[in-house]
């Protein structure tokens, strides 16, 4: 099932794509796509619904973030072999875990807003996933059963704030607009193997990231199990899983986003994002 949210900022409605590829309005059936509806069994509630009877969403309508107000927005750093190499970082022995603020989340085609004083805002195409049920001390064998669905995330990062200002990475990860997610939240049964997904990112039409999730150091299965040893994961929690090589920080010379740039990115089967830098 391919879910989405649509409409003006702050007034998004839930939607679903039917078997014919038509975008349908779900707002008469559920209030939103959020932690509460996921916890209440969103998938089973929609399983026997004839989606073709729902109103169509007008073409050109804005996509919002594919999930509303996740309780946690967690991220894994340096999780692709070739990305660690390009940044001259040793391969981590355990997943590097950090927070992104839920307040940084925006729609997949909303603008990236450069923070005040930014000189090193960077791009990162990532596969993200949403937790479907309470997860604590989960085994790797059972881990994927806790995933509700998958989406595209651009883990926008201000490298000077992240790496040159002391303290933790979150300083460079949490500015408003630094978490575009969507357009779709694709339920887990449609993604049989999340470790075989091509993903790419372009800046001004130039493809700078082009890889697939098989290059991950720590798989989705490992991430769910590992994080659940430290955090009680709840329905609707969002975790983004690291980026492949091709970021601006790894280029020689380094290259960063500037006003007027356009960023496009995609993970196979999960849709495409397009952002303008302002």
Residue-wise pLDDT tens digits, 85-141? 888 888 899 999 999 999 999 999 999 999 999 999 999 999 999 999 999 999 999
- For 32, the enclosing helix (H) or strand (E) is none
Residue-wise pLDDT tens digits, 233-253? 999 999 999 999 999 999 999
Residue ranges of domains in the chain, CATH in brackets: 2-53 (no CATH), 73-276 (3.90.850.10)
What 3-state class would DSSP assign to 74? strand
Residue-wise pLDDT tens digits, 149-192? 999 999 999 999 999 998 889 999 999 999 999 999 999 999 99
Per-residue HEC secondary structure of 86-134 comes to HCCCCCCCCCEEEECCHHHEECCCCCECCCCCCCCEECCEEEEEEECCC
Preceding peptide of 22 cis, ω within 30°: no
CB contact at 8 A, 62 and 10: no
CB contact at 8 A, 191 and 198: no
């Amino acid at each position: 099932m391919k879910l989405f949210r649509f409409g003006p900022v702050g007034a998004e409605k839930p939607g679903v794509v039917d078997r014919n590829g038509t975008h349908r309005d779900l707002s008469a059936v559920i209030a939103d796509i959020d932690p509460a509806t996921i916890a209440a069994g969103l998938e089973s509630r929609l399983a026997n619904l004839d989606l073709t009877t729902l109103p169509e969403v007008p073409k050109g309508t804005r996509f919002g973030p594919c999930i509303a107000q996740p309780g946690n927005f967690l991220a894994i750093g340096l999780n692709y072999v070739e990305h660690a190499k390009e940044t001259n970082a040793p391969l981590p022995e355990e997943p590097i875990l950090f927070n992104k603020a839920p307040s940084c989340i925006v729609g997949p085609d909303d603008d990236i807003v450069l923070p005040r004083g930014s000189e090193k805002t960077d791009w990162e195409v990532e596969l993200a996933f949403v937790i479907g049920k309470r997860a604590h001390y989960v085994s790797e064998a059972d881990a994927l059963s806790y995933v509700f669905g998958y989406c595209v995330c651009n883990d926008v990062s201000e490298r000077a704030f992240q790496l040159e200002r002391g303290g933790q990475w979150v300083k460079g990860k949490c500015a408003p607009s630094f978490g575009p997610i969507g357009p779709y939240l694709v339920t887990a049964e449609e993604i049989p193997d999340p470790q075989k997904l091509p993903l790419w990112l372009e800046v001004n039409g130039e493809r700078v990231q082009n890889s697939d999730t098989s290059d991950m150091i720590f798989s989705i299965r490992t991430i769910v199990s590992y994080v659940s040893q430290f955090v009680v994961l709840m329905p609707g929690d969002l975790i983004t899983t690291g980026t492949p090589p091709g970021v601006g920080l790894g280029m020689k010379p380094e290259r960063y986003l500037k006003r007027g740039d356009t960023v496009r990115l995609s993970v196979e089967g999960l849709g495409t994002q397009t952002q303008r830098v302002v």
